[in-house]
Structure 1
Amino acid sequence: MIKLVKVLHFVGLIMLLVGIGLYWQSDIGQQVSGMLVIALLIGVGTLIMSPLPVALVIEWAKKQSPNSGSKE
């Protein structure tokens, strides 16, 4: 499960960087269709990236749970 989330995080990061690159390096952002493409790349890229930190926190919490009862 975590491997799939890591792959999706990488794909989202690539989409984000492509969207930012199109915005900075081309004139496609001057047209409405170009703005839509750039906004979709950046938005979907960040949306795909977001589950990884949540999955890592949940995995970390599951690892910590057995140790917390032994300290009492």
Structure 2
Amino acid sequence: MEKSVIKTLKILHWMGLSMLLCSVGTYFLSDMSQQVEGMVMIASLAGLGMVMMSPFPIALFLEWARKQNPD
């Protein structure tokens, strides 16, 4: 994989992690989770954060696997 793709995925990974942590913090530190709008917001932040985080480890694994086979 190209370095620019890995760099972009790394940025998306950190943005997703911050969204996930923001949703966990909002859930535990506020009363928004008691309202429907808050539930939707927390679930959306957590879901989008996890989707944004997921491609980076896969790209790292594929890059590692490509380096293992020098053919």
TM-score, reference length from structure 1 = 0.90
CA distance in 2, matches of 1:7, 1:65: 27
- Structure showing greater radius of gyration is 1
Structure 1 position 30 matched with structure 2 position 34: yes
Structure 1 position 42 matched with structure 2 position 39: no
Equivalent residue pairs, number: 67
**CA offset at residue 38 of structure 1?**
0.1
Name the % identity: 54
Write the deviation string for residues 21-65 of structure 1: whole angstroms up to 9, x where unpaired. Answer: 000000001000000000000010011000011000100011111
CA distance in 2, matches of 1:31, 1:59: 44
Q: Which residue of 2 aligns with 1:57?
A: 61
CA distance in 1, matches of 2:21, 2:27: 10
Runs of 4 or more above 6 Å deviation: none
Unmatched segments (≥5 aa) in structure 1? none
Amino acid corresponding to residue 68 of structure 2 in structure 1: Q
TM-score, reference length from structure 2 = 0.91
Unmatched segments (≥5 aa) in structure 2? none
